Amino acid sequence: MLSETKFNILKQISGEFSRDETIWASGYLAGLAGATSGVIQHSLQQTNPESETSVKKITLAYGTETGNSKKLATELAGIIKKKGIQVKLADLSQYKPKDLVKEEFFFVVISTQGEGEPPILAKKFYDYIHENELVLNQLKFGVLALGDSSYPQFCKTGEEIDFRFEILGAERIIPLKRCDIDYEDEARHWIEHIYEVLTKTSVKSQSTLSIPKKSTGRKKYQGQISAVINLNDITSEKETYHIEIETEEPIMYSPGDALGVLPYNPRSVVEEIIQLTGINAEKQIETTKITASVDELLYKHLNISYLLKTTVAQYADITGHQIPEVRLSLLDLLKIYPVKNAVQFEEVINILTYQAPRLYSISSSPEAHGNTEIHITVAKSEYLIDDKKQNGLCSGFLSEFNEGDAVEFYIQEAKHFKLPQSDKDIIMIGPGTGIAPFRSFLWERDAVGGEGRNWLFFGDRNFISDFLYQSEILDFMKTGTLNNLDMAFSRDTAQKVYVQDKIRKKGNEIFNWLEAGASLYVCGTKDPMSKDVEETLLNIIQDQGKRNKDEARIYLEEMELNGRYAKDVY
C-alpha cells in the first residue's frame, strides 16, 4: 500500500490525466510491477497522436475446426479494440456471405483441415465466394492462414480465400500470412501490420503489441501397445485392427475426438535408399525444422513414400533428369533417375516434405475404459505397384505393432463431432471403420446411463467376416443401450445393398426422429459413401417433410449449424 503522502501525490497528478495518458500510466506501472501473466499486453510506449487511425471499424472473421482460429481471432480483436478501433468479430459458420459487399475492412483467420479442405463449419462461406461472381471492389482485406507444415496442403484454405478475394476485385492491404502450429509470434506481427496500415503511416507504430510466449504445440503422449486384434474373420479380404494403447499419465479426450500419430517409414526402404545413394547414414543434416542424422530423417521425419509432383519436379531440377509429371516414392525415383553422388542426394533431402501425421477416430470411451487407455480402429490398406503388394504407410505401421511396443501420439479435438446431452437421441451412420467413433459413443452412453435413444446404421462386405465389433454391438442391443440397428452387407446378396439403401427404407422413422430433435452423425469414406448418404437424407427430408430441394438443403444446413448434423469423413 502507498503511504498517505505518495497517494496524495499520485491522486493529484492522475486527476489531470487525459484518457490516453491514464492508459499509458497504468501500463507503465504494470510494467514496473512485472505484470506479464497470461494476458495480451500493451507496450510501455505512449501512443503517438499523429499515428492514430481514421479507420473506426473492421470485421475480423474466423473459420475454425478445433477452436484455435476462434481463440486467436478473439485475442487479436481484443488488441485492436484497445487501440481504439471497433471490431466486429464474426464466425464464418454464421456470417452471411452476401454481406461482403457492405464491408470495407475485412480480415480472416482460418485453418486448413485434412487434405487442404476448409473447416466444416466454414465450408458454406468458402463455397459461396467460389461459386458466385461477387463484386468486391470496395473491400480491403487480409488473411491469416493457420495450418500444419507437416501436411502437403499447408494453409491451402487461407491461400485460396486470399486469391479468390483478389479475383473478385478486393484490395489486399497486407500480404497473406501463413502460420504453423506455434503461431503466436506470427499472429502478433500480422495484427501489428494491420494496425500500421490502418494508421496510414509508413512509420512503424510505436505501440508494440505482444502475445504471451505460450506454446500451442500439441500435447504428446507416450504410450505402450497393449493389444492388436484383427477384427475380420480369416475368410475376409480385409484386415481391420482394433488397437489398444495404455499410458502412465491420464489422457484428456472426449468421444468424437481423433488420435494423431506420426508413422515411421519402413526400415528396409530407408536402408536401401542409403545404400543406393552412398550417403553416410550418420551424417548430420540441418533442415528447416530439425537437425538429425540422415538415417533418422529418412526413418522418422521425412515423407519418402509418395512424393508430391512439385517435389518430383524439384528432384528433376537437382539431378538434371527429364522426369514426367508423376508421383513416385523416393526409392523408385532413385532407381529410375539416380543421383550422381551423396552430395547431390543431400540437396534432395532438403526438398523432401515432412511426414504428415495421420488421424484415426478414437473408438474408446474415457468413462468406460478409463483415462489411461485409448483405442483406435485401423483398416490396413494395400495396393499394387508393378505387381508388388505395398501397405499403406500408417496403417501398415500401426498394424505391425506388437504388444509392449512404444508409440507416441496426440489428441485432435473435434469440436463439431460431439455427443449431445445424454437424454438426446442420436442416429449414427458408420460403415466400415466409420464404426469407430460410434463404438466410443455407445460405450460412453452405456457407462453414464444416458437416456437418449441410439440408432446405428452399419455396413461392410460380408456379415460373417466383416461385422466389426459384432459381439459388442449385439450386447448393446440386448442391454438396451442400442435401440435400433440396421445393417447392410453388400456382398451377401446378388444385388449390392449399402447403408443408404437401409436409410431410404427407414425414411419416415428417421424424419420423425429428426423432427423430435435427434442429432445425426456420419463417419467413413467421403466419396462415394458420405455423398450418397447425404443425398438420401435430402430426399427423405423432401418426401417426408413436404419440402422442395432447396428447402431440404436449408433444413440440413440448419441442423449442421445447430450442431445436430456432423460428418467425420475421409
pLDDT digits (tens, 9 = 90+) for 159-201: 999 999 998 999 999 889 998 877 888 888 898 888 888 876 3
Under the banding of pLDDT at 50, 70 and 90, the label for residue 207 is very low
pLDDT(361) > 80? yes
Q: Which of 81, 61, 67, 72 lies closest to 187 in space, CA to CA?
A: 72
Residue 205 pLDDT grade (very low, low, confident, very high; cuts 50, 70, 90):
very low
Residue 92 has pLDDT above 80, yes or no: yes
DSSP calls for 185-217: HHHHHHHHHHHHHHTT-SSPPS--EE------P
The mean per-residue pLDDT over the stretch 326-342 comes to: 93
Please state the rounded mean pLDDT for residues 9-32: 48
| Strands (DSSP E) found in 112-251 | 140-146, 171-172, 177-179, 209-210, 220-230, 240-247
| Residue 331, pLDDT above cutoff 60 | yes
Residue 381: is its pLDDT beyond 90?
Answer: no
DSSP string, 454-474: EEEEEEES-HHHH-TTHHHHH
The residue-averaged pLDDT of 201-217 equals: 42
Read off φ and ψ for residue 9, nearest 5 degrees.
-65, -45
- pLDDT single digits (tens) 38-71: 333 333 233 343 345 567 789 999 998 878 889 8
What pLDDT, on the 0 to 100 scale, is given for residue 296?
96
Comparing CA positions, the residue from 3, 78, 95 lying closest to residue 42 is 78
- For range 466-485, the mean pLDDT: 96
Overall average pLDDT of the 560-566 stretch? 91
Average pLDDT over residues 220-245: 95
User: Taking residues 140-152, what's their average pLDDT?
Assistant: 86
What's the pTM value of the predicted model, to 2 decimals? 0.71
Q: Quick one: pLDDT at residue 391? A: 63
pLDDT for 180: 84
Closest residue by Cα to residue 499 from 569, 429, 570: 429
* Contact between 23 and 44 (Cβ < 8 Å): no
pLDDT value at residue 417: 93
pLDDT for 116: 81
Average pLDDT score over the chain: 85
Set out the domains of the chain in order of their start, with CATH numbers: 57-199 (3.40.50.360), 267-351 (1.20.990.10), 426-569 (3.40.50.80)
Among candidates 174, 114, 164, 168, which has minimal Cα distance to 143? Answer: 174
Q: In this model, does residue 538 exceed pLDDT 80?
A: yes
pLDDT digits (tens, 9 = 90+) for 64-83: 887 888 988 988 888 888 88
The answer on pLDDT for 340 being more than 80 is yes
Residues 6+ apart with CB under 8 A from 502: 457, 459, 486, 487, 488
226 or 306, greater pLDDT: 226
C-alpha cell at 64: 475454425
CA distance 91 to 80: 17
| Lowest-confidence region among 198-212, 334-348, 417-431, 527-541 | 198-212
For residues 215 and 244, which has the higher predicted lDDT (pLDDT)? 244
One-letter amino acid of 335: K
Pairing status of strand 258-261 against strand 105-111: unpaired
From the list 80, 50, 95, 406, the residue with the least C-alpha distance to 202 is 50
Task: Classify residue 59 by burial, with Cβ atoms within 10 Å: 0-12, 13-18, 19+.
Answer: buried
In whole angstroms, give the CA distance from residue 489 to residue 435: 14
- Examine the pLDDT at 503 and tell me if it is beyond 90: yes
Please determine, for residue 16, whether its predicted confidence score (pLDDT) is greater than 60.
no
The whole-number pLDDT of residue 32 equals 44
pLDDT given at position 308: 83
Question: Bridge partners of 485?
Answer: 456
Give residue-wise pLDDT tens across range 431-474.
Answer: 999 999 999 999 999 999 999 999 999 999 999 999 999 999 99
Q: Which amino acid is at 147?
A: G
Q: Using alpha carbons, list the distances in angstroms from residue 73 to 65, 88, 113, 189.
A: 13, 11, 18, 14
